[in-house]
Amino acid sequence: MEALEEALQGTVKLRVDPNAAWTVADTLRMLPRLQKLNMDYLEDPVEGLDALARIRQEAHMPLATNMSVVKPDDVPAAFRLGAVDVILADVHKWGGISPTRKLAATCEFLGLSMSMHSGSELGISTAAHLHVAAATRIIDHAMDTTLTLQESDIIDEPLHDVRGGVLPVPGGPGLGVTINEEKLRYHAAQNERDGDAA
Domains of the chain: 2-150 (3.20.20.120)
Nearest to 22 by CA among 43, 1, 53: 43
Q: Say what the pLDDT of residue 198 is.
A: 58
pLDDT above 90: residue 120: no
- 3-state secondary structure (DSSP) of residue 122: coil
SS (H, E, C) 71-111: CCCHHHHHHHHCCCCEEEECHHHHCCHHHHHHHHHHHHHHC
- Residue 136: the pLDDT is 93
pLDDT at 144 over 70: yes
Average pLDDT over residues 134-161: 85
Tens digit of pLDDT for each residue in 35-61? 999 999 999 999 999 999 999 999 999
As a whole number of angstroms, the distance between CA 121 and CA 94 comes to 13
Which range has the worst mean pLDDT, 12-16, 79-83, 159-163? 159-163
pLDDT range class, residue 191, cuts 50, 70, 90? confident
Q: Tell me phi and psi for residue 119, to 5 degrees.
A: -120, 45
- 0.85 cut: is pTM over it? yes
Section 180-184 average pLDDT: 94
